[in-house]
Chains A and B, each alone.
Chain A
């Protein structure tokens, strides 16, 4: 079975501070991991995916198969990063995307 765990429901940091949103998963096969973001009054949208190995809006995430983690990081948080972040998993070539419970990030001025 696929399972995604985001241990922090709420995370608050100050502007300019580093931020890390934790994501752990359980899946026995070859997973594909994603981070989706929902800004206030906007629809849920893709932030980044591990196979692209890209940095979006200063965020990066590295898939650690040994620790089964896909933590989202940004060295210097900005107020506009305040949003709900969801980690999601699917199997390679699969169809069903399983989401975590989400982390509400607040970046204070």
Chain B
């Protein structure tokens, strides 16, 4: 079936504007993750969803960042009042949660955000 889908693939926005990034996980995957990929910073964890709830949102860098997930499927990452340091590739990943067995993450192609 289809993989993890993210939209838009590229987003250029002006400093101070709000942006919304969308993620469609693989059907049936209960766990969903957001990561940020910056040059020289590796992959930075942002938030994790299990179903519609977020038991771990400790990676969100500030209160300008928020995320939600509805219907146990689509997730939206919102960044308010964007700053230049928010420029990065935002990756979404999903996986089947099998309890004790850590199934692999399936990543989307990411959204490249550029704040001018």
Give A residues with C-beta under 8 Å from B: 6, 9, 32, 34, 36, 43-46, 49, 86, 88, 90, 92-102
Q: Once the chains bind, are A99 and B102 in contact (CB under 8 Å)?
A: no
Partner of B42, one of A49, A92, A102: A102
Q: Once the chains bind, are A43 and B3 in contact (CB under 8 Å)?
A: yes
Given A95-B31, A95-B56, A96-B48, also A86-B104 (CB < 8 A): no
Interface residues of A, dominant DSSP: loop
User: Count of chain B residues with Cβ under 8 Å from any Cβ of A?
Assistant: 27
Q: Once the chains bind, are A97 and B33 in contact (CB under 8 Å)?
A: yes
Given A93-B99, A93-B102, A97-B33, also A45-B45 (CB < 8 A): no
Give B residues with C-beta under 8 Å from A: 3-4, 31, 33, 35, 40-43, 45, 48, 50, 55-56, 91, 93, 97, 99-100, 102, 104-110
User: Please, which residues of chain B bring their CB within 8 A of the CB of A9?
Assistant: 40
Q: Once the chains bind, are A95 and B105 in contact (CB under 8 Å)?
A: no
Please list 21 pairs of residues, one from A and one from B, whose beta carbons are closer than 8 Å in the complex, sorted by A's number: A6-B42, A9-B40, A34-B104, A43-B4, A43-B107, A44-B107, A45-B106, A45-B107, A49-B104, A88-B43, A93-B102, A95-B31, A95-B48, A95-B50, A96-B45, A97-B33, A97-B105, A99-B42, A100-B42, A102-B42, A102-B43
